[in-house]
Amino acid sequence: ISIKTALALKQQNPEYILAGERDGLPVPGFDLPNSPYAFSQLNLQEKTLILKTTYGTEAALRALQGAHVFVAAFINAKRTALDVKQLNANNQRKTIRIIASHPTSDEDLACAQYIEDLITDRHRIPVEDVTKRIRTSDCAKKFVDPSQPAFDPRDLELCSQESDSAVVLHVTKAGLPTIEQVAQ
């Protein structure tokens, strides 16, 4: 979905919430940036949120040919890995593709490798290593740089936390691709 399409959907459906970023920066005309902290301050239950990001949403859309598409971050890595393992329990021959959405982002790669480690039960990657890679990645620097106020340090804090009670997000493909919460 393009920014233009998102804005048109909002015009047709004023109750929709637009959130996202382009190259990390808030999109003019959108209600929210792509900010975990901003999301955490709102009750989004029963709301339609249209999310547009530079890499993440594009990666999810490119993966739609898969039988099952999940959207994951570090916070919901364990729960997502558990759901994928349960889905695959009866068929050991399923192919599982884990995509780090940003092409040069170590924090996305760290998360993808961690999810793979959880799915395969290798237990080679300590959670502390993932947290460190997230906090020390090139992307993280802007969140602690006072000259870049568009980036909230609280987002970095939230993105480097893992939660056993986080939600599992699955992409449905009927009509406009939609991310649905399937477990909490």
pLDDT tens per residue, range 30-64? 999 999 999 999 998 889 999 998 888 888 888 88
- Whether pTM > 0.85 for this model: the answer is yes
Inform me whether the pLDDT recorded for 169 exceeds 70: yes
70's CB contacts (< 8 A; 6+ apart) are 80, 83, 84, 168, 169, 170, 171
Q: What is the pLDDT of residues 101-126, one digit of tens each?
A: 887 889 999 999 999 999 999 999 99
Range 66-93 burial, b when 16+ CB lie within 10 A, else e? eeebbbbbbbbbbbbbebbeeeeeeeee
Domain segments of the chain as ranges: 3-54, 69-166
Q: Which residue has the tokens 């005309």?
A: 29
Give the tens place of pLDDT for each residue, 55-105. 888 888 888 888 888 889 999 999 999 988 888 777 666 777 888 888 788
- Average predicted confidence (pLDDT) for the chain: 89
Report the percentage of the chain scoring pLDDT > 70. 97
